[in-house]
C-alpha cells in the first residue's frame, strides 16, 4: 500500500489513502533516521522484483516495491509514466534536482515507513532509478545500489510478453509499458537516447520505432550504459549483479548481496533464494530481429555487459 498503485494495475482506489498518509508523515518531525537505504536498479523484467522479495525476508529490511508515489510526493518531476500527473516527468534527475525540500520530504517519508514497519533498513526496488543515481545519492549519501542486469535478448522478449498481456486502454488513453499514450517512450527518446552521440539528430527515426521488440532493445541499451555509469560513479557503493548468476548460484549470490548491504546473514532469505531462484528462463531465446536503427548500439552495450563473449550462440 505504501508504494501507490500504478496505472496498469488494479486497486488504484488506494492511492488517495497513500497520499493522505504521505501528507500526514510530512507534517510530523523525522520519525526515524534513514541509514544506508538500498536501491535495486536496472531494467524491469530483469529479476528486480524477486531479488527485492528475497531481501524482504531479512528481519531488518522493509521492502518498497517501486514506491513511485513517494518519489512523486518528494519531487513532482519523478512521474515519467503518468501514474499520478498529466505533466511530463524527467527521465534523468541529477544532483541539482535534489533541492533541500525534496531531500527533506523523501527522508521523512522513508523514516515514516521504517517507523510504521519497525524495520531498520529500506530496500527500494525502482529499476528506472538507475537514470537518477546521482540524484538519489544526493538525497541519501550513504545509500547502496544493486545494479541488476539480464541478457538483453531475454529482457526484450520478456517486455514484449508483458506488454501483450497487460497493455490496456480506457477508450481514450492507452496504458502500457511505455506509459500513458507513450509518455515514457517519448521521454526515453528525447531526454536520454538523443544525448548519445550515436543518436544525435535521429530523434524522428527513433520515434518511428513502434514494436515492443525495438523499443525494449533501445531501453535495454540505454539502461546498460547508465548502469555502467552508476558503477563507475559509485565504485564502493554499487554492486554489479547478473540475473543469470542470481538464478544459477542463488545461495552464493544472496550471501554476497547481504554482505555488500552490510546485513547480517540470515537463513530465511538464503533458503528462499535456493527454493525460488533456481534457473528457469521462459523468456530465453537465441535470436531476435532488431531494427538497424538500434542494432549497432545494442551490440555495443551487449558486449560491454559481457554477454557477447558469454553467449556467443545468440544473434540479433
Going from N- to C-terminal start, the domains of the chain cover 12-310
Cell of 91: 527521465
Cell of 212: 515492443
- From 232, 187, 233, 216, select the one nearest 90 (Cα to Cα): 187
Query: What pLDDT score does 13 carry?
Result: 74
Pairing of strands 144-149, 121-125: unpaired
Residue range 12-310, CATH number: 3.40.50.300
Query: What pLDDT score does 107 carry?
Result: 98
Query: What pLDDT score does 310 carry?
Result: 72
Residues 6 and 66: their CA atoms lie apart, in Å, by: 9
| Residues 6+ away with beta carbon under 8 Å from 83 | 4, 6, 7, 68, 69, 72
Residues 212 and 150: their CA atoms lie apart, in Å, by: 17
Q: Would you write out the chain's pLDDT as a tens digit for each of its 316 residues?
A: 677 776 667 677 788 888 899 999 999 999 999 999 999 999 999 999 999 999 999 999 999 999 999 999 999 999 999 889 888 899 999 999 999 999 999 999 999 999 999 999 999 999 999 999 999 999 999 999 999 999 999 999 999 999 999 988 877 788 999 999 999 999 999 999 999 999 999 999 999 999 999 999 999 999 999 999 999 999 999 999 999 999 999 999 999 999 999 999 999 999 999 999 876 666 778 789 999 999 999 999 999 999 987 776 777 8
- From 37, 12, 21, select the one nearest 116 (Cα to Cα): 21
- Identify the DSSP state of 276: H
Query: What pLDDT score does 1 carry?
Result: 61
Amino acid at each position: 500500500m505504501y508504494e501507490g498503485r500504478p496505472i496498469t494495475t488494479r486497486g488504484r482506489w488506494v492511492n488517495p489513502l497513500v497520499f493522505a498518509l504521505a501528507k500526514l508523515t510530512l507534517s510530523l518531525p523525522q520519525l526515524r533516521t534513514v541509514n544506508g537505504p538500498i536501491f535495486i536498479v536496472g531494467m524491469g523484467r530483469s529479476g528486480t522484483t524477486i531479488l527485492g522479495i528475497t531481501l524482504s525476508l531479512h528481519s531488518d529490511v522493509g521492502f518498497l516495491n517501486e514506491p513511485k508515489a513517494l518519489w512523486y510526493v518528494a519531487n513532482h518531476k519523478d512521474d515519467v509514466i503518468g501514474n499520478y500527473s498529466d505533466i511530463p516527468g524527467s527521465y534523468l534527475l541529477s544532483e541539482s534536482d535534489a533541492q533541500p525540500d525534496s531531500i527533506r520530504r523523501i527522508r521523512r517519508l522513508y523514516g515514516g515507513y521504517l517507523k510504521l514497519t519497525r524495520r531498520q533498513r529500506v530496500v527500494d526496488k525502482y529499476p528506472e532509478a538507475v537514470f537518477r543515481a546521482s540524484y538519489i545519492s544526493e538525497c541519501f549519501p550513504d545509500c547502496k545500489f544493486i545494479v541488476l542486469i539480464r541478457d538483453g535478448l531475454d529482457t526484450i522478449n520478456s517486455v514484449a510478453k508483458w506488454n501483450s498481456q497487460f497493455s490496456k486502454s480506457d477508450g481514450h488513453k492507452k496504458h502500457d509499458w511505455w506509459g500513458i499514450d507513450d509518455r515514457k517512450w517519448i521521454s526515453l527518446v528525447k531526454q536520454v537516447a538523443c544525448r548519445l552521440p550515436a543518436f544525435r539528430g535521429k530523434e524522428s527515426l527513433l520515434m518511428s520505432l513502434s514494436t515492443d521488440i525495438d523499443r525494449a532493445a533501445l531501453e535495454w541499451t540505454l539502461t546498460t550504459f547508465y548502469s555502467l555509469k552508476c558503477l563507475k560513479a559509485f565504485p564502493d557503493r554499487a554492486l554489479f549483479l547478473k540475473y543469470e548468476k542470481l538464478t544459477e548460484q542463488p545461495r552464493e549470490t544472496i550471501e554476497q548481496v547481504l554482505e555488500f548491504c552490510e546485513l547480517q546473514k540470515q537463513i530465511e532469505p538464503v533458503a528462499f533464494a535456493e527454493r525460488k531462484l533456481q534457473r528457469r528462463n521462459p523468456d530465453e531465446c537465441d535470436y531476435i530481429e532488431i531494427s538497424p536503427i538500434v542494432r549497432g548500439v545494442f551490440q555495443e552495450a551487449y558486449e560491454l555487459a559481457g554477454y557477447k563473449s558469454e553467449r556467443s550462440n545468440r544473434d540479433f
